[in-house]
Structure 1
C-alpha cells in the first residue's frame, strides 16, 4: 500500500477525524430439534473451496523470499517476481492479453528514477534562496529545472477556481511557474467565499488540488506559499531532511490524463513546491503587508481583484540525477462466454520496497498477500472453466508494479488498457489482507471494505450479499467514511479505476506494526484468514462475472 507522510497531511490536506462507527450487532439464533441436512454446495462454493491456506502459503513463501530482493520496481527482484507470476498464470491456463509485448503476459513501461543532487536554489535579484532551506519539492516528480532556468512567475491568488470564481481568469500560465497562497479566500468576516464541494468543507485547503488545477491550465510548476514564519518552515525542512532527499519515481508519459482535483496524490507532469513565507513573498513581488492588503480587498469584493504588485524575474535551479527504468505489469486473461466483451478486473500489486541499507524488505503482507490471493482466484476460475462452468464475462487478472512509488502500474494500465475501459465493469483490488491490524483483536475474522458504495450501489449490495451468504466475515467500513484521516481510498491501485468512473472495491486489513518494515515476513501471515478474505473476493467476482445485467454506475461519492 502506498505510504503517506505527516508533512503531506499537514501541508496538503487537512484531515478530519473519521466518523464513529456503530458497534456490530451480535445476534444469537436459537434452534429447536435436529439440525437440518446441509444443502449441497453451490457451484461458487465448490470452486471457492479451492482457495486453500496451504496453496497461499506455498506461493507466498516464494514471492516474499529473500531471492526476490523486496521486488522494488525496475530492479532485478521485481523481474524475478514477474517471471514467477507469468509462469503461474500460464500453468493455470490463462492467456497473455498484451498484443504489443515480447511476452503477452507483460505490459512493459518506463519510469523515471530521480535522485536528489545538492545545490538547488532560486535567485531573485541579488537574493538566493536555497533548496531544502527555503523551498522543497514533495512527491515523485522530476525537476523541470535541471539547469539554471529563467522564470517569470505568475501570482494567481489562492490558486482556486469554482463556478464564477477563478484566480486564473485573464492569466496566461502555460509553461510558466505559478505562485499561490495556501488556504481559501474569505470575506471580511472570515467566512469562506466558496461553497463546500460535496462533503468537503475544506476542499481548496489541499495543495494537491491547487496543483492539479495549475496543471490543467498548463503551468510548468506551482509554488505553494505557506504562512508559517520562515524560521518554523526551515525547522521543518531540517527535521524532514532525509525523507526529502529520498529517490523518487515518476511516469514520463502517463498517457491520456484525467484532471482530478479530488485526488490525494500529486499530479504527474508538474513541479509542486512549498516555499517559506519569505521566498513566497519575494516570488510574488510583495511584502507581507502588501499581501494582506490584497487578501482584504479580495474579501471585500467577494471575488478575485487585481493584485497591485508584479512578480519579478527569477532564476530556478534544481539538479537531479534522472535515470530511465523499465518495469512491468503482469496480466492473465480468462475469456468469458456469452458476455465475454464485458470485463471484470481483479488486481493486486506485487512490488514492494526492495533493499534499503543492505536489508531486504520482503513485503509478505504488502502486498504479497494480495498477489497470492489473485493467483488463487485465477486458479479457481480457470478450473471452473475447464470443468465447463466458466464465467459469462471475461476476467482480467492484473498484478501491478510500482504501486509503492505512486500507483504507477495502475495509472499506466488505465491510461493504456489492453481491454477497453468502457467494457470494464469493476475492479476488485486486494492489498494487505494477511494480517490483523491494530484496531482488531486476533480472534476477529474481518476485512475492511473501501469504496464499494462510491460509484455503484449494486456493487456494494453484491459484496454484502456474498459475505452474508457464504463467508460471514465482519465487514469493517471505518476506512470508507468521508474525510477518513489516513486517506486509504486514495492509496492503492483501485483508485486509478475509480477516478475513471469504474466501480471498485478495495479489500484490506489495514496497517500493522510491521507495515513498510523489514519485519513484514511470511511467518507473520494468518493464512486461514487470508483464505477466507480471498474467498469473499471470489464470491463477489463470481456474481459479477455471471449475473445477467452489468452493474449500474449510480453514485459519485467523493
Structure 2
C-alpha cells in the first residue's frame, strides 16, 4: 500500500510534459541497441575486465559510438576519466585450515571457500586466528542492533550470515525492512564493519536464498584478478582476507565446533543476540601479485541550450568479469545481459536524445568501470565528479536490460524514496503499463548497482525495470526466465548474446528511460529525496544556497 500511495502522490507532482511514446519510438534505434550489445559481448572483448585488452577495446569502442551519435567528449575534451585501481591476484589455490575442534578441517579453494585480500601486499598470512560467529555482522545503533556488542574481535576471524536478520519475512515491515534487504545485508557492508571492528579475516556463509544467487556466482566473482580502489594505506586498514564459505563447508565447520548452524541462524535473527566463540582456529596463507593501473570511465555530453550548467545523468557499467574460469572449453564471461545490454542502451539513448535535438539542460552519458568489483567506477566519479553533484538534477542507471520479451508491468528498485517517482509514473503511464512492487526486495538490488554511489552523495537516481508479468506466459513465464538466468547464466560463461532474443521488452524500457531523461532535461524542477529518506540531508546540504 505504501508503494501505491507513494506513486499516486508522485503522479500529482511536477507539471512538465512527458514525451510521447511515438516520439521516443521514432528516435531509438533497435539496430544500434542490438549491434552494440553483440559487439561488446563478443569473445573479442574478452569479458571486458578492467585493466585488460578487453577494457581497451571496450572504452575505445564506446568513445567511437559516443562520437558517432553526436555527443561531445565529457571530460575537458577527453572521452575518459581515469580511475586509479590496484589489481590483486591470488597465486595458486590455498587451503583454509581449521583446528581445535572435534576434527581438523581442510577446505579447498573454489570448492569449499573463496577468499581475497584488499591489502596490496605480496604475502597474506592468517595464522591460528580464533573464530567467532557474529550473526549477521551488523552494528546499527539507529536500529538498536549490534552483533559485535560485548565481544572483541581484534585479530580474530569472524563468521557472518548473508543478508539481514528479517530477510525471510513475508512483508516489508521489520527492524531491517522485512524482506527488503538494507545495506547492512550486503557483503560490502559486512567486510567494512568487520574491518572497523579490527577483525583479521571474514567468512560469509553462503546460502542461495538470502544471497539471491548461487555459489557459481560467488566463485566466478571472487576468483582471478580482483581490482580495488587505490588507497593511501594500500588497504592496511582492511581485514587480511575477505571470504565466503559454501553452506556445506559452513555446516562442517559448525559441527566441528559442536554447534548447529540452523540453531545459531535462528538465534542470530533475534534482538539481543550475542556473538558465539567457536573455539576453532583458522589458518590460510597465499602470495599475491599486485598491479597498479588506471581504468577508465567513458563520458560524453549533450550540451544544454539554455541551462548547460545543470545536468541530467545516465549511467551504465561497461565492465564484466573477463576470463572467469581456469579450465573448460568456454572460459570467457561475456556479460551480454550484464551489462553489454545496458551499455548499449546508453549509446542508443544518447543517439535518440541527439536526434531529438538538444534539451535545455545538459545530458551526461557515463559508462563506468569496475561495477562488478564493488561499484568502483561510479564511486570514483561520485567522489571526483566532472560535473558538480549539486548541479546534477538527477539521473537513471541501466544495469541489464530485459530480454524475455514484453510485459504488462514495470517496477522501481527502491520505490518511494524520491520525487523522481513522479517522472517514472508519467513515463510508465505513457506506455500503458502497471507499476507494481519490486518483485525481489530481499535481493538488495538497490545497493548492488551504480546508482547507489550517486545516491550516497545525494543525487536522486532512478533504477527501474520491466516487470515479470509477461504478455506471453504471464508472471509464471517471467519468474521462470529470471530463475533460469540466475541459475545458469548470471556471472557465468553462458551469459552470451542470443540472436533469438525478443527485444520488445528492452525497447519498452528504453522508451521509458528516454522520456524520463527528456522531461528532466527540459524541466526547471529540482527533484529531491522524500522527507525522512537517508539521502535527503546530504542533498539539502549540497543544494543549499544554489
Residues 213/351 of structure 1: CA separation in 2 closer, same or farther (3 Å cut): closer
- Alignment match, 1:468: 429
Equivalent position SS for 1:554: coil
Q: Give the equivalent residue in structure 1 for 2:515.
A: 539
Following superposition, the deviation at residue 60 of structure 1 comes to 3.7
**The one of 192, 197, 214 aligned to 2:176:** 197
Residue range with higher mean Cα deviation, 218-227 or 319-328: 218-227
Residue in structure 1 matching 2:123, options 127, 143, 146: 146
Structure 1 residues 43, 454: closer, same or farther in 2, change over 3 A? closer
* Pair 1:273–1:534, CA change in 2 (3 A): closer
Question: What is the CA-CA distance between 1:473 and the residue it aligns to?
Answer: 5.0
SS at match of 1:251: strand
Correspondence 1:87-102 to 2 at 5 A: 87-98=64-75
Aligned Cα RMSD in Å?
Answer: 5.0
1:445 and 1:278 mapped to 2: Cα distance?
Answer: 44
| TM-score for both structures, normalised by structure 1 | 0.66
CA distance, structure 2, for counterparts of residue 417 and residue 542 of structure 1 = 22
Q: Aligned with 1:49: secondary structure?
A: helix
Structure 2, unmatched stretches of 5+, are 5-17, 166-173, 208-213, 469-480, 536-546
Query: 3-state SS of the aligned residue for 1:331?
Result: strand
Question: Shift in Å at residue 397 of structure 1?
Answer: 0.6
> Structure 2 CA distance, aligned partners of 1:392 and 1:464?
22
Aligned residue number for residue 271 of structure 1: 242
Deviation at 1:129, TM superposition (A): 4.5
Q: Using the alignment, how far apart are the partners of 1:305 and 1:532 within structure 2?
A: 49
Q: Does 1:177 align with 2:138?
A: no
The question of 1:375 aligning with 2:331 is answered no
CA shift in 2, pair 1:322/1:142, >3 Å: farther
Deviations 1:188-214 (A, max 9, x none): xxxxxxx72333599899584544432
- Displacement of 1:536 in angstroms is 1.4
Question: Per-residue deviation at 1:223?
Answer: 4.6
Residues 3, 415 of structure 2: 8 Å contact kept: no
Q: Retained in 2: the 8 A contact 1:96–1:104? A: yes
Checking the alignment, whether the CA contact within 8 Å between 1:53 and 1:530 is kept in structure 2 is no
In structure 2, the partner of 1:350 is: 318
Alpha-carbon deviation of 1:537?
Answer: 0.7
Query: 1 CA distance for matches of 2:162 and 2:30?
Result: 50
**Whole-Å separation in 2 of the counterparts to 1:277 and 1:43:** 56
Q: Deviations over 1:19-41 (max 9, x none)?
A: 999xxxxxxxxxxxxxxxxxxx9
Name the residue aligned to 1:495.
452
Match of 2:462 among 505, 519, 541: 505
Aligned equivalents of 2:299, 2:163: Cα separation in 1: 44
Partner Cα separation in structure 1 for residue 226 and residue 382 of structure 2: 18
Tell me what 2:195 maps to.
215
Distance in 1 separating the partners of 2:204 and 2:239: 17
2:26 corresponds to 1:49: yes
Match of 2:169 in 1: none
Contiguous gaps of at least 5 residues in structure 1:
1-18, 22-40, 187-194, 228-235, 257-266, 437-441
Q: Does the 8 Å CA contact 1:455/1:504 hold for their aligned counterparts?
A: no
Distance 1:241 1:466 in 2: 36
Q: How many matched pairs?
A: 465
Residues of 2 paired with 1:201 and 1:55: CA distance? 36
Query: SS where residue 193 of structure 2 aligns?
Result: helix
Once the two structures are TM-superposed, the CA of residue 503 in structure 1 deviates from its matched residue by 2.8
Q: Residues 108 and 157 from structure 1, CA distance in 2 versus in 1: closer, same or farther, beyond 3 angstroms?
A: closer
TM-score (norm 2): 0.67
CA contact (8 A) 1:429 1:494 kept: yes
Of residues 26, 36, 40, the one that matches 1:59 is 36
Q: Is the 1:70–1:363 Cα contact (8 Å) retained in structure 2?
A: yes
CA contact (8 A) 2:19 2:515 kept: no
Question: How many angstroms apart in 2 are the aligned matches of 1:248 and 1:254?
Answer: 18
Identify if the C-alpha distance between structure 1 residues 55 and 486 changes in structure 2 by more than 3 Å, giving closer, same or farther: same
Q: Is 2:309 the counterpart of 1:333?
A: no
Which SS does the other structure have where 1:374 is aligned? Answer: helix
CA contact (8 A) 2:396 2:463 kept: yes
Q: Deviations over 1:64-85 (max 9, x none)?
A: 4443333333332332121111
Whole-Å separation in 2 of the counterparts to 1:268 and 1:465: 47
The match for 1:246 is: 223
Tell me, yes or no, if structure 1 residue 161 matches structure 2 residue 134: no
Cα offset, 1:278, TM superposition: 7.5
Q: Deviations over 1:430-485 (max 9, x none)?
A: 2332521xxxxx5x4456433262421x212211212323xx1535645x15x635
Quick one: structure 1 residues 68 and 428, their matched pair in 2 at CA, closer, same or farther if it must change by over 3 Å? same
* 1:426 paired residue among 394, 398, 409: 394
Partner of 2:284: 317
Hey, what's the Cα distance between the residues in 1 that align with 2:464 and 2:380? 21
Distance 2:51 2:386 in 1: 21
Residue in structure 1 matched with residue 403 of structure 2 by the alignment:
435
Q: How does 1:276-315 map to 2 (within 5 A)?
A: 276=250
> Residues 83 and 215 of structure 1: is their aligned pair in 2 closer, same or farther, counting only changes over 3 Å?
same
The 1:116–1:422 alpha-carbon spacing in structure 2 relative to 1, beyond 3 Å, is farther
TM-superposed CA distance for 1:130, in Å, is 2.8
Question: 2:85 is matched with which residue?
Answer: 110
Cα pair distance change 1:136/1:381, threshold 3 Å: same
Tell me: CA distance 1:65–1:473, structure 2 relative to 1, closer, same or farther (3 Å): farther
Answer whether contact 1:139 1:248 (CA < 8 A) is retained.
no
The structural deviation recorded for 1:348 is 1.8
